[in-house]
Amino acid sequence: MSEATTSAAPAVPAAGGGTWISELAPKEKRALGACVGGWALDAMDVQLYSFVIPTLIATWGVTRAEAGALGTAALLTSAIGGWLAGFLADRWGRVRTLQIAILWFAGFTFLSGLAQSFEQLFAARALMGLGFGGEWAAGAVLLGETIRPEHRGKALGTMQSGWAIGWGAAALLYTLFFSLMPPETAWRALFFVGIAPAFLVFFLRRYVEEPDVYKASQAQIAATGDKPSFLEIFRPPLLRITLLGALMSTGAQGGYFAVTTWLPTFLRTERGLSVMNSGGYLAVLIVGSFCGYLAGAYLADRIGRRATFLVFAIGAGVVVVTYTMVPFGDAAMLVLGFPLGFFASGVFSAMGAFFTEQFPTRVRGVGQGFAYNFGRAIGAVFPTLVGVISATMPLGQAIGLFAAAAYATMAVAAFLLPETKGKALTA
């Protein structure tokens, strides 16, 4: 049976000691740019919702439990979208599936701004989630297969840092729109801006190619007729990897969404901050998030994927509990925002490279899509549970309780998974 490793040429030290990005071939750079941009715009569309929760509660009379359910709806359907997109990426190609996913989530984010009732907004957010989940599944496998092994962790971690960029864009738009418009108009305008990611599809169609290892795998499947099964990832020897990977992702996603979905509301209602002041606290959090993604990206290639997971999961659990449950003054809360964002986001940096290296090329899309997005589906329940439990305890305590349990789960699962640092991909 023939084999094909990732298509990139061997790394050559850049002239003048340039960064690792300067060592990448043009094909690798284009894929990196497209995937970072796609994930950043995906993040912007998703995070817009967290900023409109207080307005929906005030203007529509939505309860915290209902607000949590709106967030959960998008996350639950994103799990279905991620698994489906992974399957389609294995059949139709990574690039084509990524284009479809971006157009889908951009369109339904725009439609969210037209909603006239809770039910309509629920439907729009749920449908948006299908594309949200699909974007990561297709983008991560595309980038993981395109980038050479020694830079794969850094590249996938850099892609994850796009989330902080998109989150920052959402925060800036929130501050701008809610300062210039009445709240009942501003939240709709935020969702209308969510159509912007659709323009990225033009770049994808013109400049981004399918990875060579994927094309070699497809040629091999065509020659042998041995088509992959949708359920192949649930059979030995992949079953253990699938289950532990899904459990690890559940912890990471559950902790992250428990914090980020409710943090603007926590700052506004329990800390008594205005729109402008809460924007400053979120800015510190987002800067910490961006730095955490990049630090995790470098650590993934330096100390390995598994050790990186453990460092960030433990750090995130400790900082989240401290931030939400220990009474601090506003200045201390501002400072703590940086490590909160740093650890809560850095847990994801090694995940794309890790899942790419765990599954064979023939089922890499569906395996990666399921493991990551199953975690998102179960983690999606956390915002709703936080909203429900906050009726009987302070919101900060509810956030800290569920986040701590989530990060402990992630640490245990990561410890049980094998290390894959430096693994070459084959067809």
Looking at the domain assignment, is residue 212 inside a domain? yes
Does 381 score more than 70 pLDDT?
yes
Does 10 score more than 70 pLDDT?
no
Does 103 score more than 80 pLDDT?
yes
Say how far residue 282 (Cα) sits from the centre of its chain: 18
Looking at the domain assignment, is residue 164 inside a domain? yes
Q: 110-114, 115-119, 122-126, 266-270: which has the minimum mean pLDDT?
A: 266-270
Q: Which domain holds residue 95?
A: 24-416
User: Coil, strand, or helix at residue 394?
Assistant: coil
pLDDT in tens, 173-218: 998 999 999 999 999 999 999 998 888 988 988 899 999 999 999 9
Looking at the domain assignment, is residue 5 inside a domain? no
Does 3 score more than 90 pLDDT?
no
Looking at the domain assignment, is residue 15 inside a domain? no
CATH, residue 201: 1.20.1250.20
Looking at the domain assignment, is residue 224 inside a domain? yes
Candidates 380, 410, 348; CA nearest to 79 is 380
Looking at the domain assignment, is residue 11 inside a domain? no
| Overall domain count for the chain | 1
The torsion region of residue 93 among left (phi > 0), alpha (psi -120 to 50) and beta comes to left
Looking at the domain assignment, is residue 424 inside a domain? no
Check if the beta carbon of residue 94 is closer than 8 Å to that of residue 44: no
List all residues 6 or more positions away from 302 whose beta carbon is below 8 Å from its beta carbon: none
Name the residue with higher pLDDT: 80 or 427: 80
Q: 30-34, 243-247, 249-253, 257-261: which has the minimum mean pLDDT?
A: 257-261
Query: For position 267, what pLDDT does the model report?
Result: 73
Mean pLDDT, residues 116-138 taken together? 92
Candidates 307, 313, 376, 312; CA nearest to 137 is 376
Rounded to whole angstroms, the Cα distance separating 267 from 265 reads: 5
Q: What is the DSSP string of 103-158?
A: HHHHHHHHHHTT--SHHHHHHHHHHHHHHHHHHHHHHHHHHHHHS-HHHHHHHHHH
Looking at the domain assignment, is residue 370 inside a domain? yes
In the chain, pLDDT over 70 holds for what percent of residues?
93
